[in-house]
Amino acid sequence: MAEEADMKNRLKVLRAERNWSQAELAGRLDVSRQAVNAIETGKYDPSLPLAFRIGRLFERPIEEIFDDEHHD
Amino acid sequence: MISTKNGNAPLAPSVRANRRLLAISAVFGAVIGVATVFVQLPHSDGAPTMGDLLRAPLPAWFAILIAVAWGIVLPLISWRWERVVDEHERQAYRDGAVAGFYVMGVGAPMWWILARGGLVPAVDAIGLYVATMAATAVVWLWRKYA
């Protein structure tokens, strides 16, 4: 079985650009503050539906926010 | 500096529903505990001990009532909870449940075999249940907050 790649993301940067707290972002995404923190610190990878919600919220495609560091 | 505190941001609906259901579960457990104490009071010399609460015989009507309440209310709350919590919490809970499964799946046969070898006391169902729930809770909270 293939090992899972480390996923990086720009959530913290995008949140800072809007001057939102983790709690504010969590409220907009309908998740807990712990969920936002876990995603930002790379401890939890969001599902596709949540990744799409994040993309829509920041008006960016998912691949501009999340990067699995797999480049051909 | 990027704020990480709650501040005045309203809680997400899923978080509010999560807390509400956990509070209902806590009240449900407390009611069962208090009811058990009151049912056992007439049969105990003074206040029932923790051992009485966990192992002393109960009136059949009360045992049926609690078993039915536990068997119906808890699954309903759990089902609803799984539907309302956010995916991170759900994953943390499932990681905890897997840990609990391993405590039971590995611990019970070990204890049973050692007991048959006369090395330890007979398997204690409540002891295994408590260990399973404790492992589940520790991993659940660790995965959620760490």
User: What is the DSSP code string of chain B?
Assistant: ----S-TTPPPPHHHHHHHHHHHHHHHHHHHHHHHHHHHHGGGSSSSPPHHHHHHS---HHHHHHHHHHHHHHHHHHHHHHHHHS-HHHHHHHHHHHHHHHHHHHHHHHHHHHHHHTTSSPPP-HHHHHHHHHHHHHHHHHHHHH-
Per CB-CB distance under 8 Å, the chain B contacts of A24 are 7, 9
pLDDT in tens, B102-115: 999 999 999 999 99
Q: Do B87 and A31 touch (CB under 8 A)?
A: yes
Q: How far is A21 from chain B (nearest CA, A)?
A: 5
ipTM over 0.85: yes
Q: Find the residue in A nearest to B16 (Cα).
A: A32
What CA–CA distance (Å, rounded) separates B104 from B108? 5
Q: Find the residue in A nearest to B3 (Cα).
A: A21
> What DSSP letter does each residue of A3-71 carry, written as one string?
PPPP-EE-HHHHHHHTT--HHHHHHHHTS-HHHHHHHHTTS-PPPHHHHHHHHHHHTS-HHHHEE----
Which pLDDT value is given to residue A7? 80
Sorted by where each begins, the domain ranges of chain B are 14-85, 87-146
pLDDT in tens, B78-87: 999 999 999 9
Amino acid at B99: A
Residues on B contacting A at a C-beta cutoff of 8 Å = 2-7, 9-15, 18, 86-89, 91, 144-146
Q: Do B12 and A12 touch (CB under 8 A)?
A: no
Provide, rounded to the nearest whole percent, the portion of chain B with pLDDT above 70: 90
Ordered by where they begin, the domains of chain A are 8-63 (1.10.260.40)
pLDDT in tens, B37-83: 888 877 766 666 777 777 778 899 999 999 999 899 999 999 999 99
Per CB-CB distance under 8 Å, the chain B contacts of A15 are 2
Per CB-CB distance under 8 Å, the chain A contacts of B83 are none
What mean pLDDT comes out for the span B8-18? 86
